[in-house]
Chain A
Amino acid sequence: MLLRHTTKEVKERKALTINPAKTCQPIGAMYASLGLHGCLPHSHGSQGCCSYHRSTLTRHYKEPVMAGTSSFTEGASVFGGQSNLLQAFNNMFSIYDPDIIAVHTTCLSETIGDDVSQITQKAIADGKIPEGKHVINASTPSYVGSHVTGFANMCAAIARYFPEKQEFALDQVNILPGWVEPSDMREIKRMMSEMHVPFVMFPDTSGVMDAPQTGFHEFYPKGGTSIPDLKRSGSSSFTFALGKFSSESAGIELKKKCDVPFEVMDIPLGINSTDRFLMKVSEVTGCPVPESLADERGRVVDIITDMQQYLYGKRVALYGDPDILIPLTEFLVGLDMKPVYIVSGTPGKYFTDRMNEILGDSVPEAKVKNGPQADMFLMHQWIKEESVDLIMGNTYGKYIARDEDIPFVRMGFPILDRVGHSYFPMTGYAGAMRILEKMLNAIMDKIDREAPEEKFELVM
């Protein structure tokens, strides 16, 4: 057994986290920064942070992840990292020539109290930031929230810096996609195009974290939100902030800075939240939902009604990030499935409130926990107590899935051992189809694997 020490008796823990269902803020900030065109993320801390974040993002995307670090030593930790950051600015602008440097902090620089805004102001005053170049910064202490918080904080930093309010509102909307894959951002953009709605999306990692092989390493790939688009976002008529945990703060900043009205919505994943999103887009813009999207929706519903017997009553364990888990749980409940165990390391009462609302009468037996010690060890203990038919979450779930012989669908961050997540979406109706296909394959592969020879079915 791979997790041979996990037993079913749950003892309450107050201090020890085992097999976390979250990681720290800076990696989220780095991911968000990569969604701006010509942007070089910068980690203000010790080298290890940057190295770990680049490695994890690279393993997840199988793509280059370029980022700088302030390379703190003990001296910098005592005297402050100002001189390291100023040097880094000078070196990065000279060597790598980014349009934007997006600085995020770490637990190290936060604990010693480095003020990155003030250091940046000094760099600008001293003429260390070349004309026309931009430095943005987000405070992302690793000891608060989770990687999702870091993503949200960087999105808020972008929203604080770039948007400009013109005299007249533009006939366009802003989409803050939340922490989803480049494939999902591409899919949301496609839906907007199908609806003929002009929009600005930020961050947008499509074309960055799924860059084509050209025989040339584009240090700044084609994708990412452009600076002019970021500026124009201040004059948009509305902002869709998708995912309360990853996008709300950016929505608030945009409202504050440029008075763009916004609504926080679920990430469109599964049927219900995609329906709501498209309806709202339609309501705000006056653009009707086109037949092409209606047909896609119909195809998803068709799969569901065709395959209902394989989905009905299936017990599912989920772990990962709240903005994905909320619409996913809603989708599964709608499929007559039973999401019985749900954990997320990301704290926030909104998560349990929403989950209770969604699970309510449908799955009264569901156990939901988020925040401290809401980890995969706890989820595994619940599974040991009473098993499930399916596990959905990031790659770390494969150890539980193998030990307990439970079908497993990879979803969320990070996925270190398979490809596809950067290319095929989970969002929109197209994504709902993919989730369905993956779940059905996993469940039906197990049926095939375990069926006695005489009950091995050709047609299913």
Chain B
Amino acid sequence: MSYEKLNDYMMEKYPTKVYRKRKKGMTANDPEDIQELAVNVRTVPGIISQRGCTYAGCKGVVLGPTRDIINITHGPIGCGFYSWLTRRNQTRPETETAENFMTYCFSTDMQDKNIVFGGEELLKNAIQEAYDLFHPKAIAVFSTCPVGLIGDDVHAVAREMKAKFGDCNVFGFSCEGYKGVSQSAGHHIANNQIFKHVIGEDDSRSDSKYRINLLGEYNIGGDAFVLDELFEKCGIEIVATFSGNSSIDHFANAHTADLNLIMCHRSINYVAEMMEVKFGIPWTKVNFIGADASAKALRRVGEYYEDDELKARIEEVIAEEQAKVKAAVEKIRPNTEGKTAMLFVGGSRAHHYQELFKELGMISLAAGYEFGHRDDYEGRRVIPTIKVDADSRNIEELHIEKDPTRFSQELQDKKSELMEKGQEFSEYEGMMKEMDSGALVIDDLSHYEMEKLIEMYKPSVFCAGIKEKYAVQKMGIPLKQLHSYDYGGPYAGFVGAINFYKDIERMVNTKMWDFIEAPWDKQKAMNASYVKAV
């Protein structure tokens, strides 16, 4: 079927206006001639989208995994309730008594009288009560839709309470759900406030030789634990992970690292950019999803330090891990070779998980992000050409300057030197460059498009989230959740790759689906020899 015909089929029932708009968000990929996509644009009302809101991106995604910040949702009860423990951010406090508030949900549970008369007093009291009960190091406040509309100044309240306590950092996020066009705006807001209020608060420095930050790793299913172990084996210290298995103390100290490694580019590149401008720390894009990608990422760190001892240790670790991976691939790949996958999730996973499918010999037929921007698809080189629309303009861009004392010229000089040697920094090639020619790239996939795609291609596995899971499975196609990992994982690093191979092998080879057809449907002509029909 030609791409045009496919478009017509996939969007058969769309009103013309919707058809035209959606068409701009999809293409048949050509890695040699990357097409411009209209992405990070408003979702069409009524279309049934995968997307969530700014609050979800800020409180749920970026700050959700922080265990020692009391995260108070300022608003009616729902937003706090729905983001309570549902994202599987695992965390491991240092000791049995160390602070861990992840299992708690804090909310101001706004009532109608607060909507009418304002909610600032309510918020103040809530912060005070949280402080009195728990004496935390930090309290963060997250604004929900009505807060912005009634004009509560959460930042002023936060400043006042911070000054009052003296020993508790209090800061707010204006992450009302209606801002932006998806979760993505919330990531940006989270980045800004963490940068403003936390990063750089603690200048102490450990004496390890290699010190990096891991950005955009949220420890779903224990991914960050796997990476912690991997880096430890290599002798590299992770100063801070943003924000899986994190402590606010790590964030405060993050500016002392030598290098920022970015995993989920979409959710955290802002912090990396701002840290480079203010503190001179270079950043580079890596990916720890996929065994080969993980090896490449570790080698990248070795190259950065230009240290033979480190490089040798990294090679040892890779060799040891890859031997296990190879054994697993040899066993599993015959059962997965040639099977097909589709991935529609997030702002990086739909790209990164293609690596794992490649290692299984599977073909990624179609992929797209839920809340990606053009740079996530086409690569960062297109950033200067991205048109800033009204929905992006209302997200604050911080103006950052060099820190007069703590900016590291040394790291910047090192970066220039390494760039001359061909090393890449501040670069992300995007998803399309690495996808097959002719594979479909579709942004913000709608439910309708999803069903049409599945009817047409019958992929062996479909990757998306909880809202899609059971609709797809009702169609007889297994769905792998790439937000929650279906309560499995970890999938990062080498250990994670093996877990993923096993899960996919299980999913694409199960005979369970054969039960769907009842025996009386298979064998229509019955011989009624005992009881004759009347």
A interface residues (Cβ-Cβ under 8 A, vs B) = 1-5, 11, 13-20, 22-27, 42, 45-49, 51-56, 58-59, 62-77, 84-85, 87-92, 94-96, 106-108, 111-112, 141-144, 146, 211, 213-218, 345, 372-373, 377, 396, 399, 416
Query: Could you list 11 examples of A-B contacts with CB < 8 Å?
Result: A15-B124, A24-B81, A48-B79, A52-B78, A52-B83, A56-B86, A70-B46, A71-B49, A92-B46, A107-B110, A215-B475
Per-position binary interface string of chain B over residues 93-131, scored 1 when its CB falls under 8 Å from any chain A CB and 0 otherwise? 000110111011111111110110000001111101110
**Bound CA span A70–B15, Å:** 17
Contact status A213-B474, CB under 8 Å: yes
**Bound CA span A75–B180, Å:** 10
Residue of A1, A55, A85, A87 with most chain B CB atoms under a 10 A cut-off: A55
Contact status B78-A5, CB under 8 Å: no
**Residue of A whose beta carbon sits closest to that of B107:** A17
Contact status A216-B146, CB under 8 Å: no
Binds A, one of B37-45, B253-261, B280-288: B37-45
Choice from B47, B53, B107, B467 contacting A54 with Cβ under 8 Å: B467
Contact status A91-B47, CB under 8 Å: yes
Contact status B42-A217, CB under 8 Å: no
**Residue of B whose beta carbon sits closest to that of A2:** B103
Known: A4-B100, A24-B76, A74-B391. A89 touches B474 (CB 8 A): no
Contact status B145-A77, CB under 8 Å: yes
**Bound CA span A72–B146, Å:** 13
Contacts of A58 in B (CB 8 A): 466-467, 469-470
**Bound CA span A66–B130, Å:** 38
Which residues of chain B (8-53) have a CB below 8 Å from chain A?
13-15, 18, 42-53
* Distance from A348 Cβ to chain B, minimum over Cβ atoms (Å): 14
Contact status B103-A399, CB under 8 Å: yes
Contacts of B467 in A (CB 8 A): 51, 54-55, 58, 65
Those 8 A-B pairs whose CB atoms lie nearest each other, nearest first:
A48-B53, A24-B78, A88-B46, A15-B125, A142-B76, A91-B46, A64-B471, A52-B82
Contact status B46-A89, CB under 8 Å: yes
Contacts of A3 in B (CB 8 A): 103-104
**Bound CA span A345–B111, Å:** 13
Contact status B106-A141, CB under 8 Å: no
Contact status A143-B476, CB under 8 Å: no
* Distance from B259 Cβ to chain A, minimum over Cβ atoms (Å): 34
**Bound CA span A94–B11, Å:** 11
* Residue B216 is within 8 A (CB to CB) of chain A in the complex: no
Contacts of B394 in A (CB 8 A): 74
Choice from B42, B104, B111 contacting A19 with Cβ under 8 Å: B104
How many residue pairs between the two chains, A and B, have CB atoms under 8 Å in the bound complex?
A: 263
* Residue B400 is within 8 A (CB to CB) of chain A in the complex: no
* Residue B134 is within 8 A (CB to CB) of chain A in the complex: yes
Size class of B's contact patch?
Answer: 35 or more
* Residue B80 is within 8 A (CB to CB) of chain A in the complex: yes
**Bound CA span A24–B128, Å:** 24
Choice from A16, A73, A214 contacting B178 with Cβ under 8 Å: A73
Choice from B14, B51, B79, B470 contacting A47 with Cβ under 8 Å: B51
Contacts of B114 in A (CB 8 A): 143
Contact status A143-B146, CB under 8 Å: yes
* Distance from B405 Cβ to chain A, minimum over Cβ atoms (Å): 37
Choice from A5, A74, A75, A372 contacting B111 with Cβ under 8 Å: A372
Residue of A49, A94, A373 with most chain B CB atoms under a 10 A cut-off: A49
Contact status B53-A107, CB under 8 Å: no
Contact status B149-A345, CB under 8 Å: no
Contacts of B134 in A (CB 8 A): 5
**Bound CA span A94–B177, Å:** 27
Contact status B448-A69, CB under 8 Å: no
Contact status A95-B14, CB under 8 Å: yes
Contact status A14-B129, CB under 8 Å: yes
Contacts of A91 in B (CB 8 A): 14-15, 18, 44-47
Contact status A215-B125, CB under 8 Å: no
* Distance from B381 Cβ to chain A, minimum over Cβ atoms (Å): 28
**Bound CA span A370–B85, Å:** 23
* Residue B77 is within 8 A (CB to CB) of chain A in the complex: yes
Contact status A216-B474, CB under 8 Å: yes
Choice from A19, A48, A77 contacting B56 with Cβ under 8 Å: A48
**Residue of A whose beta carbon sits closest to that of B473:** A213
* Distance from A18 Cβ to chain B, minimum over Cβ atoms (Å): 6
Contact status A48-B54, CB under 8 Å: yes
Known: A51-B52, A55-B466, A214-B474. A141 touches B45 (CB 8 A): no
- Other 13 A-B pairs with CB < 8 A, given A17-B105, A22-B77: A11-B132, A15-B124, A15-B125, A20-B81, A52-B82, A54-B467, A68-B47, A88-B46, A90-B46, A107-B76, A107-B115, A142-B76, A143-B146
Which residues of chain B (54-83) have a CB below 8 Å from chain A?
54-56, 72, 75-83
Known: A16-B108, A47-B43. A95 touches B13 (CB 8 A): yes
* Residue B163 is within 8 A (CB to CB) of chain A in the complex: no
**Residue of A whose beta carbon sits closest to that of B517:** A215
* Residue B150 is within 8 A (CB to CB) of chain A in the complex: yes
**Bound CA span A366–B71, Å:** 32
Choice from B86, B101, B115, B516 contacting A213 with Cβ under 8 Å: B516
Known: A19-B104, A23-B81, A24-B78. A143 touches B44 (CB 8 A): no
* Distance from B465 Cβ to chain A, minimum over Cβ atoms (Å): 8
**Residue of A whose beta carbon sits closest to that of B391:** A73
Contacts of B15 in A (CB 8 A): 90-91, 94
* Distance from B474 Cβ to chain A, minimum over Cβ atoms (Å): 4
